[in-house]
Structure 1
Amino acid sequence: MSDVELPTIKRTPLTIITGLVGGLLFCAFYEVFHFFHFIEKTTLMPSWSFLAPSWQEGFIPHIIWWAMICVLSIIWGLLYQLTVKWSETMWPGIIINSILFVVIFVVFGWWLDLGTNVKELKHHAVVSIACLFVLHGAFVGLSISYDEPYESEEH
């Protein structure tokens, strides 16, 4: 092996990129699940009452929703980096996102009646959305916890 020095990657920019990509993947899989009729389009996407009525049916609400999910995913990634980066597995991300799923659908949707109620959704919609949350948690959690680009190994 030659003595090639690999550049180190700064954690925060990589975490922001990971959060952005995680949010984009979440939205893309959400659209695929809607395409195959696993979920309805409005299950997680709120109504945008501040938009003009002619814009509420177009692509503008989707762009706003994608941007909102990406920003939330970046914030989630940064919080994950600050709190659970010591883990070298994807399990903390999966567990945190599973708790987030329960909070969003059970606490906000059913108990506080602020969002989508789990009882109103079909079984495959609940499973599909839970899988989206788990997939996002696994991707972001493992990508942030993976330490190889940050550490050099001595031989």
Structure 2
Amino acid sequence: MLDEQLYPKQMSFLMMVFWTGLFGGIFWGAIGYIAYFLNFTEVSPNVILEPWALGNWKYGWLGKLISMVFLAIVSIIAAFVYYAVLRKLKGIWFGVGFGIILFLLVFFVLNPIFPGIKPLLELKRDTIITSICLYMLYGTFIGYSINYEYELNKVQDKEAST
């Protein structure tokens, strides 16, 4: 009993993946809005609503709020994909690569369903560079967070078993 008071139970690894995805989606979505507001990119995070929402409300404050919720949900899914596929791989470069893969997925594969995103070759250089950097930083955040927790859990399990 005293042991539990001194060392409270940690959250499960899957719950940590959920929170990492949620925070990553909200934080990096907000950074995306700032980049759009400062004209570093011509792609607004509101673009996630365009295929599903009708009306001009999606370009106002309510659209920004709901698109942040959508980004958080998509980010949670992306975090679980990283967890399932890449959690055992050490190093920062796997997260960077994950971000680049997400960029390619959005700007090449999913581009036709997002009318707010022009084809990649028609985008301004600032937009391409900013978007790649944001996706790489997002991937690094997700990847490094999940890999760090995975390695920490391995060490703690090893210590607990001895």
TM-score by length of 2: 0.77
Q: Which residue in 2 is equivalent to 1:106?
A: 108
Report the Cα offset of residue 8 of structure 1. 3.8
Q: Which residue in 1 is equivalent to 2:124?
A: 122
Q: Which residue in 2 is equivalent to 1:139?
A: 141
> Relative contact order: is structure 1 or structure 2 higher (C-alpha 8 Å, sep ≥ 6)?
1
2:13 corresponds to 1:15: no
Query: What secondary structure sits across from 2:155 in the alignment?
Result: coil
Structure 1 pair 131/24, CA: closer, same or farther in 2 (3 Å)? same
Gap regions ≥5 residues in structure 1: none
Determine the C-alpha separation between the residues in 1 that align with 2:73 and 2:129: 24
2:91 corresponds to 1:50: no
Gap regions ≥5 residues in structure 2: none
Deviations 1:66-105 (A, max 9, x none): 1111101101111111111112322222112202212321
Query: What secondary structure sits across from 1:86 in the alignment?
Result: coil
Range 64-73 or range 86-95, more displaced: 86-95
2:127 corresponds to 1:151: no
Query: What secondary structure sits across from 2:23 in the alignment?
Result: helix
What is the total number of aligned residue pairs between the two structures?
149
Report the Cα offset of residue 7 of structure 1. 4.3
Report the Cα offset of residue 16 of structure 1. 0.4
% identical equivalent positions: 26
* Higher helix proportion: 2
Q: CA RMSD in A?
A: 2.6
- 1:50 aligned partner, one-letter code: A
Q: Which residue in 2 is equivalent to 1:69?
A: 71
Q: Which residue in 1 is equivalent to 2:93?
A: 91
Determine the C-alpha separation between the residues in 2 that align with 1:103 and 1:44: 17
Structure 1 pair 89/44, CA: closer, same or farther in 2 (3 Å)? farther
Q: Which residue in 2 is equivalent to 1:80?
A: 82
Determine the C-alpha separation between the residues in 2 that align with 1:43 and 1:14: 25
Determine the C-alpha separation between the residues in 2 that align with 1:32 and 1:11: 31
| 8 A Cα contact 1:8 1:150, kept in partner | no
| 8 A Cα contact 1:98 1:130, kept in partner | yes
| 8 A Cα contact 1:19 1:76, kept in partner | yes
Determine the C-alpha separation between the residues in 2 that align with 1:26 and 1:141: 14
Structure 1 pair 52/108, CA: closer, same or farther in 2 (3 Å)? closer
| 8 A Cα contact 1:15 1:77, kept in partner | yes
| 8 A Cα contact 2:32 2:44, kept in partner | no
Structure 1 pair 35/131, CA: closer, same or farther in 2 (3 Å)? same
